[in-house]
Structure 1
Amino acid sequence: MENVLIATVLSFVVTYFSIPILIKVAELKHLYDEPDERKAHKKRIPTLGGIGFFSGFIIAATVCVPALQNSPFQYMMAAFFIIFMVGMKDDIVGLSPLKKLIGQLLASFAIIYLGNLQISNMYGFMGIYELPASISLMLTYFTFIVVINAFNLIDGVDGQAGSIGLLVSAILGAYFLHVGETTYAVIGFALAGGLASFLIYNISPAKIFMGDTGSLLIGLVNAVLAIKFIDVAGNPAGKMPITATPGVAFAILIVPLFDTLRVFAVRMLQGRSPFSADRNHIHHYLLDLKLNHKQTTLVSVTVNAIYIAAAFALQGIGTTAMVFVVVGSALCLTTLLYLARRRKLATVLQPVLAPAVAEASIISESPASKILRVTNDGILQDK
């Protein structure tokens, strides 16, 4: 317990005093996130915030994780530094999606192969229990890549990625603290402490963004915690066993995980790269419904918290039923949100398009007129 408290406070303090320095450095070196038609901010914002809570997290974890024989912590540290370098290079000079993916795979390899952390059991999902080694590896790599990118992709609203990352790491850290997994409890609370401090500067109006340096780190750390949670909580002989463990883990990560899988699926069905940019994320829907950044973040975090509480309460229904309930309810809520957003945009666009349509009809009545087709494809929307 003492290690966890020290890690939380140390991470918070280091991050709190690092951020103002990073803001000054970003201003001197002109390291900004430039506004454009897809982004919600209208002025240049420094993007080095991830370095701040990375520093707090790494220092706290290094000092407070107990030195145990055969501990995988050294491999986790290597993975954290790999993902940090990938994110920082992307923030400063840019990085292609392929190179980012290679960096994510290297970080995942250090934890999966060297740290021996895998999803080896599905605990009854669709009647599946123990997984063959090859399937286990593929599923674990897929989980790492999706969760890492999930937090990166929801980082489109002030405070959202940090707030959900804080919620997830604190919940998982609390579980590991209860069951005596001190290493993972320290990691979870060290990240939570750093994010709590970072959010002081990132809640709207944001003074600094975390950038890929921060969002990729949040994804990697929470992927480690979630996979370890499946392994530990699924053991019926453990201190606090949880049935339907994969379904509960999915619910803990519901907002970033479901949103990312849904957006990836839509893009691929449209014949586009899953990493191509668009405005189909849940936070885009909420912004188009005229919620501001604080309200959007509050809705996202509240929904995620409700799913976590419901999953722990309903764990007895079984893994398959849990996954279908979580995915089905998330799909229904997203569909309702999409329809509400579509109605809202139609209401907003109608008075804008009416004069153009009237003008087009007048031109079409002249003998030598050409047909004018009016669409809303070129109308820009705020991120």
Structure 2
Amino acid sequence: MLAELISALLAALATFVACSFALPLGTSLGLLDFPDDAGGRKQHARVTPLVGGLVIAGISLGAIIAILTLPADLGPTVERHVAWLGIAVAAMFVIGVADDRFELSVRSRLGVGAMVLLLVIVTAPDFAISFVRFSHQPVVRILGLTSIPFTLLCLVGLLNAVNMADGKNGIVISLGLVWSAMLLRWLPPVMAPVMAATAGALAILLWFNMRSRLFLGDGGSYALSALFGLLAIYAYNHHFNDIGADDIILLFAVPVLDTVRLLVFRVWQRRSPFHGGRDHLHHYLYARVGWPYGLGVYITLVIVPNAAATLFPGTAGLWLGVTSIAYTVILGLAHRPSPKLA
């Protein structure tokens, strides 16, 4: 516990210093987000540095390097997995930054990202989903030859969901804090300092992000999706007696539900499923109740079911159903015209 606390405090301090120089840092690196003209998708008030991802990737990688260099006998298997986690976070961050800087096509960034993740899960098997066991069922289903493609599908799906959720201040960072709290309970001690350092950095980033001092950018959303996705699988593989597949699904349910809805709806409309728009849950919440009230509704939809599943182990499947119903109801209410505009 002491190692996790020290990691979180040091990460928070380093993040505060880095974020204090966000604008000059973003200017020097060319990582700036310019608002669109009236009616465009990007409606923030001023040019904003996209350096949140640089901070979070740096902190997470710093914690990973510290684990690998500290005089502790981790064993070759653990060292390999820690190293590949660092490679994955760094590579996904670079892909995201390249998109922030040069606006890569969806096909190219998802394709390269998928190749990176495929290499990681093939080389480090503890990051692959080789079986499925739900908390209410004692039966373990071995995936066999479908393990690698299924894992890749889950990780790429999460990457896309996190990236699509990053449309209003505070969403992905707040999600990351919830995910960090849950994974800190589940992860083996060797990975816990990485999660603690990430949580400390996210807490400070949230303060700056909510004041529009910086954005995560694709570099941040890509790095975080890889970090949380791989660590969730690692925790599941090491504590499968305590964690069911439904616990992991519940953890990421809200952004994934929103992404699946958007993909299906856009294909039905004969639009590109990856075309940007203002039809996400957070856009409807913003239009209905404003921000940060909309953020409170969104994160409550994540926190309450996960907290309930923690208090009542083995009920994640039930709370996944509750989350789906609550998401649908909230989306319907938020999508209705506001009385102020009627």
The residue type paired with residue 8 of structure 1 is A
1:305 aligns to 2:303 (yes or no):
yes
The one of 211, 232, 235 aligned to 1:229: 235
Q: TM-score of the superposition, structure 1-length normalised?
A: 0.79
1:152 aligns to 2:163 (yes or no):
yes
Superposed CA offset, 1:77-122 (max 9, x none): 1111110110111111211111111222133123311111211222
**Residue 208 (structure 2) aligns with:** 201
1:28-47 to structure 2, matched below 5 A, reads: 31-36=31-36, 37-47=40-50
Q: Distance in 1 between matches of 2:198 and 2:115?
A: 21
Taking a change above 3 Å as real, the CA distance of residues 26 and 328 of structure 1, as seen in their structure-2 partners, is same
**Structure possessing the higher radius of gyration over alpha carbons:** 1
Contact 2:171 2:295 in 1 (8 A): yes
Taking a change above 3 Å as real, the CA distance of residues 111 and 10 of structure 1, as seen in their structure-2 partners, is farther
**Residue 14 (structure 2) aligns with:** 14
Q: Secondary structure of 2:133's match?
A: strand
The one of 93, 107, 112 aligned to 2:102: 93
Q: Distance in 1 between matches of 2:323 and 2:268?
A: 20
Q: Distance in 2 between matches of 1:144 and 1:74?
A: 18
1:182 aligns to 2:192 (yes or no):
no
Structure 2 residue runs without a partner (length 5+): none
Q: Distance in 2 between matches of 1:266 and 1:346?
A: 26
Q: Secondary structure of 1:344's match?
A: coil
> 1:124 offset after TM fit, Å?
4.8
The one of 121, 124, 128 aligned to 1:112: 121
> 1:35 offset after TM fit, Å?
1.6
Superposed CA offset, 1:184-212 (max 9, x none): 21221121111112122111x31110101
Q: TM-score of the superposition, structure 2-length normalised?
A: 0.88
> 1:140 offset after TM fit, Å?
0.6
Q: Secondary structure of 1:316's match?
A: coil
> 1:304 offset after TM fit, Å?
0.9
Q: Distance in 1 between matches of 2:19 and 2:89?
A: 20
> 1:305 offset after TM fit, Å?
1.0
Superposed CA offset, 1:108-147 (max 9, x none): 1233111112112221589873233222112111111111
The residue type paired with residue 5 of structure 1 is L
**Residue 344 (structure 1) aligns with:** 337
- Aligned-residue identity in percent: 26
Contact 1:82 1:103 in 2 (8 A): no
The one of 200, 204, 217 aligned to 2:223: 217
The residue type paired with residue 90 of structure 2 is F
> 1:44 offset after TM fit, Å?
1.7
**Residue 122 (structure 1) aligns with:** 132
**Residue 295 (structure 1) aligns with:** 293
Give the alignment's Cα RMSD to 1 decimal. 2.4
The residue type paired with residue 165 of structure 1 is G
Superposed CA offset, 1:198-241 (max 9, x none): 122111x3111010111111111110122123222323xxxxx2
> 1:172 offset after TM fit, Å?
0.4
Q: Secondary structure of 2:74's match?
A: coil
Superposed CA offset, 1:323-345 (max 9, x none): 4x445433332332333234315
**Residue 92 (structure 2) aligns with:** 83
Extract structure 1 runs of 4+ deviating beyond 4 A. 124-128
Q: Secondary structure of 2:213's match?
A: coil
Structure 1 residue runs without a partner (length 5+): 236-240, 351-383
Contact 2:305 2:323 in 1 (8 A): no
